[in-house]
Amino acid sequence: MPPLSRPEKIRPGEVRPEEVRPEEADRDDARLRQLRESLASVRERIGRGCHAAGRDPAEVTLVVVTKTYPASDIALLARLGVRDVGENRDGEAALKYDDCAALGLRWHFIGRLQSNKTRGVARYADLVHSVDRPSVVTALGRAAVRAGRTVGCLLQVSLDGDPARGGVPVPGIEALAEAVALEPGLEVRGLMAVAPLGVDARVAFAALPRLRETLLPAHPGARAISAGMSGDLEAALACGATHLRVGTAILGARPPLR
Ligand SMILES: Cc1ncc(COP(=O)(O)O)c(C=O)c1O
């Protein structure tokens, strides 16, 4: 798509281009410049991290975590070539998905999933990174079938066994994968992890390729490793991450939750 001469408005009809006030256009231009720079610097980090690990950057998907940021930022990111966005709250994600439907993005759900939110999530999520218990699997599977969609699932692994932070403990991974595989609307696509607090991310993430190996014989499609955020993406790349979830390094420090 050729670059537009001015930032597009993402709700066509709500504000027509000729009604965009000059100060609004200036603000969008400034934000676009900011996002272009931060995105370039993250892409550079990914390039360096891949080079250091002897990996091809083309095998890494950058998921830009847009939670708490407006749909207008997503539209700007799309103009900068972003194709994957991550959200962690269903209500917020659903509104932005509707606003951004024309942009053709892939939507990643990365937040703690509750069974009563699965219906919404199954409508827009291509990949749910945070599948961590059987009750959610059943509900998400049912919702995916009802929506007529296939939803990819990553099993969120608890690398420190602390249930408060979400994730299935390592001994439960295979049974959870089985539960996902039994749902017609779901596919097992791999693993996801967040580095435990106070642990060297490189040490924590080093377990992931081995855990994936244990899944692959029964689930050959489980190739993805989602790990690495703004502060530890290099460690994740060194440990084989195929999906990075990066928010603050691109969009800035998140506004406090209201
Ligand atoms: C599961 C998950 N992954 C990735 C991110 C992005 O983190 P950061 O903003 O540090 O890049 C967040 C942010 O809250 C998150 O909850």
CA distances from 178 to 136, 153, 193 (A): 13, 12, 19
Nearest ligand 1 atom, CA 129: 1
DSSP letter assigned to residue 255: P
Q: How far is the CA of 146 from the centre of ligand 1 (A)?
A: 30
pLDDT value of residue 23: 78
pLDDT value of residue 5: 41
pLDDT value of residue 27: 80
CA distances from 215 to 158, 176, 218, 224 (A): 16, 11, 6, 11
Residue 166 belongs to a domain: yes
Residue 71 belongs to a domain: yes
Whose alpha carbon is nearest atom 8 of ligand 1? 247
Residue 80 belongs to a domain: yes
In the block, residue with structure tokens 């039994």: 182
* Tens of each residue's pLDDT in the chain, 258 residues: 344 344 444 454 344 555 667 777 788 899 999 999 999 999 999 999 999 999 999 999 999 999 999 999 999 999 999 999 999 999 999 999 999 999 999 999 999 999 999 999 999 999 999 999 999 999 999 999 999 999 999 999 999 988 778 899 999 999 999 999 999 999 999 999 999 999 999 999 999 999 999 999 999 999 999 999 999 999 999 999 999 999 999 999 986 665
Q: How far is the CA of 161 from the centre of ligand 1 (A)?
A: 19
pLDDT value of residue 32: 97
Residue 222: which domain range?
A: 17-250
pLDDT value of residue 234: 98
Ligand 1 pocket test: pick from 42, 64, 65, 112 the residue with the most ligand atoms within 8 Å of its Cβ: 65
Whose alpha carbon is nearest atom 3 of ligand 1? 245
Q: How far is the CA of 229 from the centre of ligand 1 (A)?
A: 6
The model carries a pTM of 0.91
Q: Which two tokens stand for residue 25?
A: 């256009």
Q: Report how many domains make up the chain.
A: 1
Residue 258 belongs to a domain: no
Residue 162, domain CATH = 3.20.20.10
Residue 56 belongs to a domain: yes
Residue 130 belongs to a domain: yes
Counting Cα atoms < 13 Å in the Cβ hemisphere of 159 gives 22
Residue 55 belongs to a domain: yes
Ligand 1 pocket test: pick from 63, 66, 110 the residue with the most ligand atoms within 8 Å of its Cβ: 110
pLDDT value of residue 164: 79
| Ligand 1 residue neighbourhood (C-beta within 6 Å) | 65, 88, 110, 194, 229-231, 245-249
Q: Cα 39 to the chain's mean position, in Å?
A: 15
Residue 59 belongs to a domain: yes
